[in-house]
């Protein structure tokens, strides 16, 4: 298969969030490959630091099914963020392969990888990564600018998503006028705008108190349940495993259990 064929291939997903907003990949026709949504084989990511080679990932293998809410646990430095960046197409492996619905994303050229990132992946970060000068509505609408969606559609879609995460009455507030939990809700809404099949969350509760962290985890679990979105959460917070159907553990860049 040519890697440039990526845009024509559907990543199987049942969409319930007014569906075909993107139209491009989500609505594409063609046979959806059988097998797991994600397959990772012998994943390696090494960084040369001075004289030392840091093996952030050192032979990681796993299979993730569509619709899973998976917790990827591990101590600081075990390779969790590195794994999410590779899965999200933000970084390239040193060795090994990542397949997403039959497509080897580790072999995609840059434009196809950017398209994969924009159409299939939603990111949520520990520190929210919101733009401080923009309102909640503008922050959520922003990724749709790059997807070429009309301003009217962007506003409608962003306000629907903000209502979905419980912020209907805070749309015109800026991040500094909102609590940490509310800021993370904006980030969750933003992660959903392009209707991604996979949500990648890097320590999403890391900057929140335990009660607020539980609310965010409840929201992610609900998105998984209601919309069958595949959600991968990396964390060292044991409370995260209460919400996940399955947990795997990383240590020194390898799977331990």
Separation between Cα atoms, residue 80 and residue 60, nearest integer Å? 11
Q: Which is nearer to Mg ion, 80 or 154 (CB)?
A: 80
Residue 254 Cβ, how far from Mg ion at the closest point, in Å? 16
Q: Please list the alpha-helical segments (H only) found in 71-179.
A: 80-87, 110-120, 136-146, 151-164
Residue 250 Cβ, how far from Mg ion at the closest point, in Å? 10
Separation between Cα atoms, residue 174 and residue 183, nearest integer Å? 9
Separation between Cα atoms, residue 252 and residue 255, nearest integer Å? 8
Is residue 78 at the binding interface for Mg ion, with CB under 5 A as the rule? no
Q: Which does 77 bind (CB under 5 to 8 A by kind): ligand ADP, Mg ion, none?
A: ligand ADP
Please choose, from the candidates 218, 203, 195, the residue with its C-alpha nearest in 3D space to the C-alpha of residue 71: 203
Binding segment for ligand ADP (CB under 6 A), chosen from 27-35, 74-82, 161-169, 215-223, is 74-82
Residue 61 Cβ, how far from ligand ADP at the closest point, in Å? 17
What stretch of H or E contains 39?
strand 38-49
Residue with tokens 């049942």: 14
Beta strand pairing status for 230-235 and 69-73? parallel
Radius of gyration of the chain (CA): 18
Residue 217 Cβ, how far from ligand ADP at the closest point, in Å? 18
Is residue 79 at the binding interface for ligand ADP, with CB under 6 A as the rule? yes
Site map (CB under 6 A) of ligand ADP, residues 44-73, x = contact? ---x-x----x-x-----------------
Binding segment for Mg ion (CB under 5 A), chosen from 3-11, 80-88, 110-118, 147-155, is 80-88
Q: Give me the residues that bind ligand ADP (CB under 6 A), please.
A: 47, 49, 54, 56, 74, 76-82
């Amino acid at each position: 298969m040519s890697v440039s064929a990526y845009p024509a291939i559907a990543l199987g997903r049942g969409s319930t969030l007014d569906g075909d907003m993107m139209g491009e990949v989500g609505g594409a026709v063609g046979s959806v490959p059988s097998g797991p949504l994600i397959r990772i084989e012998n994943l390696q990511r090494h960084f040369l630091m001075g004289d030392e080679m840091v093996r952030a990932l050192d032979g990681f293998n796993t299979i993730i099914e569509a619709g899973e809410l998976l917790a990827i646990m591990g101590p600081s430095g075990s390779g969790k963020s590195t794994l999410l960046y590779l899965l999200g197409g933000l970084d390239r492996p040193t060795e090994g392969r990542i397949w997403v619905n039959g497509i080897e994303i580790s072999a995609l050229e840059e434009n196809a990888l950017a398209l994969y990132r924009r159409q299939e992946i939603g990111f949520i970060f520990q520190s929210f990564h919101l733009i401080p000068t923009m309102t909640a509505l503008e922050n959520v609408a922003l990724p749709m600018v790059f997807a070429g969606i009309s301003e009217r559609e962007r506003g409608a879609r962003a306000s629907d998503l903000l209502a979905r995460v419980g912020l209907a009455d805070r749309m015109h507030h800026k991040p500094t006028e909102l609590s940490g939990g509310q800021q993370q809700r904006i980030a969750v809404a933003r992660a959903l705008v392009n209707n991604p099949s996979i949500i990648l969350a890097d320590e999403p509760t890391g900057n929140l108190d335990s009660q607020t962290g539980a609310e965010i985890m409840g929201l992610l679990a609900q998105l998984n349940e209601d919309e069958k979105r595949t959600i991968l959460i990396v964390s060292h917070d044991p409370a995260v495993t209460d919400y996940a159907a399955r947990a795997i553990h990383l240590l020194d860049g390898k799977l331990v259990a």
